[in-house]
Amino acid sequence: MIERSAIKLFFSGCLQLLFITSLAVLLIFAAYERAAINISLMDVIYWGGYAIAFSALLLIIIQFSQRRIASLSGTNVSRLMMGLCGVSLSLLCLQHFLQGSTALPLFDLGTALLITFLFALELAVFQQSGSRQPKQRTVHFKQMRPAIFLFLFGIDLSMAFIPLHMETLPQSLSNISPDLLIGLPISVEFFCVGVAILCCGVWLDKSGWKAPFYTGLVITGLGCLYSWLAPDAVQFILSRGVLGFGYGLTLLASQGYVIKHTDSSNKARGLAHLFAGLYSGSICGAATGAVLAEQYGYGPVFLLGALIVFSVILYGLLTLSQPAGGEVVNKAEQTKKVDSATQPNSDKGANSSPSFISFLFDRQVLAATLFSSMPASIAVVGFLNYFSPVYLNRAGLNDASIGQVLMLFGVVLALLGPAIGRFADQSETKRGPIILGCVLGGGAFLVFGVLDGVVAVTLSVLLLGLSNCLVLSAQSAFVLKQEVTGLYGEGKSMGIFRSSSRIGQMLGPVIFAAIIATTDIESGVMMFGVIYLITAILFALLTWVPRVSPVIKPVGITHE
């Protein structure tokens, strides 16, 4: 039994090392190609072969030195393989410096290694999520993270060149300006995401997470295929709408999965893991898709994205399905179900489901929507997707360097999000993490008061990443803790709350376009930071609830 476990670990470990190192080899070779450095692919493959052989040898040594191979399972295996992948990447990097060309920019080399490291990290999370004991038969919230990583990886393979592909298609909308037309696919996609999130909220409450999750995957995959086959601009725009609708369904359903398998002690951490996988997939997909499009053209990348999205269905059926012994429901959910089952009819009538208006205008929900979710959405989309590329381009940076600066936002979320989510779980009300996140977000724009240029944007991107590590998971946990959310329905509540952030995403580019149009851009950005801080103060004031100390009744003494 021990020998069989050792052989299984060795071969699975070698396959993992082969995949990670091969990905690094291809990305480094693509970086050489972009830098117009004359080096053969076989040379880089030889470097990778040496790195894999040395790491596999280390794995054998560790196995022989381990007395009981059974102890190398679950979390220990994930840590071991992360370490060996790090050794392999380090050896590959060392051979680049010894035998390669020093003309390759370090930033390009670092980007290739970072993308590979994020892949290794997601594999480690998958191994950890599968390390639960069979006797417990629990479903771990981390199991959704690899699924959402693959999902975003497939979708965002085409993110970097959608406007460029739009320009190559036959145009039949002559009344629309070309600059507006190339932005329509992304706008329609975001609009359909918002519509799908609203629809999915009701569906979640009625049917659970599975039906919208798998339906969204099928629709998204079909949208990718439609994008590949679209013969003209109009049909390409429609294809992105189909993809966006499926994306919205799967995105909210994945959050429903995490919410179902967490309680108040780990809900923020579970959502942080989900968003970490989401941004990791987006980063890796965009960078890999740009390399593939440069080598093979746009069409094959859309097809590959569809295949990857459809592969998530297989992953879900094998991993996310209910275990044979039934899911272990947390104690809070058990208590809630017992209370609702034993509650008298009079109490149920008193706690009838509130209306849409009652939910939306609840003081806590309204404060979270207007003074936390909306400013954060405006800041991220407006600053990252619109302001930063324009501002850095005027500062003299090329497209590749701009993309590498903006990538830092996702890197911070992927690496620090789960740890910060654990900190947010320690807050009972979740107000503290949200307020701290909003203050960091406002401070990101105040940086322009003392710095400018590339340094200011880089520091702002890092601070925005830290800010979103706090607010993304804590916002959802905060809304879910409200009494009105439980009465109205968690699915519908999350659908409405997350749809409100789409309004902020639409307003973001408009607001930052107005800032760029001003004569003093830095002062305009600072003013936005001040307004962001004011919204943080308003959120703190509106959500403050005074603590009620328990009243101790005096015990009366009777004299007979």
Domain ranges of the chain: 1-138, 141-321, 357-542
pLDDT value, residue 319: 83
- Does residue 339 register a pLDDT over 50? no
Q: What is the CATH number of domain 357-542?
A: 1.20.1250.20
**How much is the average pLDDT of 177-193?**
78
pLDDT digits (tens, 9 = 90+) for 117-133: 888 888 887 777 655 54
Please indicate whether the domains covering 141-321 and 357-542 agree at the CATH topology level.
yes
Asked if residues 382 and 511 have their Cβ atoms less than 8 Å apart, the reply is yes
255: left (phi > 0), else alpha (psi -120 to 50), else beta?
alpha
Helix, strand counts (H, E) of the chain: 24, 0
Q: How confident is the model at residue 559 (pLDDT cuts 50, 70, 90)?
A: very low
Which position has the token pair 């997707």? 385
Question: What is the C-alpha separation between 493 and 215, in angstroms, rounded?
Answer: 21
Q: How confident is the model at residue 220 (pLDDT cuts 50, 70, 90)?
A: very high
- Closest to 107 in 3D by CA, of 176, 186, 34, 191: 34
pLDDT digits (tens, 9 = 90+) for 272-297: 888 888 888 888 888 788 778 877 88
The residue type at 245: F
pLDDT digits (tens, 9 = 90+) for 83-123: 888 899 999 888 888 887 777 878 778 888 888 888 888 88
Q: How confident is the model at residue 159 (pLDDT cuts 50, 70, 90)?
A: confident
Q: How confident is the model at residue 197 (pLDDT cuts 50, 70, 90)?
A: confident
pLDDT value, residue 342: 44
Asked if residues 137 and 328 have their Cβ atoms less than 8 Å apart, the reply is yes
DSSP 8-state symbol, 489: -
Question: What whole-number percentage of the chain has pLDDT above 90?
Answer: 20
DSSP 111-152: HHHHHHHHHHHHHHHHHHHTTS-TTT----GGGHHHHHHHHH
Which position has the token pair 């280390």? 58
Look up residue 310 and give its two tokens: 């459809």
- Does residue 411 register a pLDDT over 60? yes
**56 Cβ neighbours under 8 A, 6+ residues apart:** 10, 13, 14, 17
Helix axes 399-425, 453-481, angle to 10 degrees: 30
Higher pLDDT, 181 or 24: 24
297: left (phi > 0), else alpha (psi -120 to 50), else beta?
left
Q: How confident is the model at residue 327 (pLDDT cuts 50, 70, 90)?
A: very low
Query: Domain 141-321 belongs to what architecture?
Result: Up-down Bundle (1.20)
Handedness of CA 64, 20, 320, 492 (dihedral sign): positive
Asked if residues 389 and 233 have their Cβ atoms less than 8 Å apart, the reply is no
- Closest to 488 in 3D by CA, of 203, 205, 212, 255: 205
- Does residue 170 register a pLDDT over 90? no
**How much is the average pLDDT of 384-394?**
82
Alpha-carbon Rg for the chain in angstroms? 25
pTM for this entry: 0.77
Look up residue 122 and give its two tokens: 């997601």
Average pLDDT, the chain: 81
- Does residue 141 register a pLDDT over 60? yes
pLDDT value, residue 352: 60
pLDDT value, residue 282: 84
DSSP 8-state symbol, 104: S
pLDDT value, residue 517: 81
pLDDT digits (tens, 9 = 90+) for 498-513: 877 778 877 887 888 8
Instruction: Kindly provide the b/e burial profile for residues 201-238, where b requires at least 16 CB atoms within 10 angstroms of the residue's own CB.
Output: bebbbeeebeebbbbbbebbbbbbbbbbebeebeebbb
pLDDT digits (tens, 9 = 90+) for 39-84: 888 888 999 999 999 988 988 888 777 655 445 555 677 778 888 8
Asked if residues 505 and 371 have their Cβ atoms less than 8 Å apart, the reply is no
- Does residue 347 register a pLDDT over 70? no
- Does residue 366 register a pLDDT over 70? yes
What does the angle CA 235 – CA 239 – CA 245 come to, to the nearest 5 degrees? 145
**476 Cβ neighbours under 8 A, 6+ residues apart:** 255, 259, 267, 268, 271, 494, 497, 498
Which position has the token pair 């519908």? 492
pLDDT value, residue 343: 47
- Does residue 529 register a pLDDT over 90? yes
pLDDT value, residue 228: 92
pLDDT value, residue 328: 43
Asked if residues 151 and 250 have their Cβ atoms less than 8 Å apart, the reply is yes
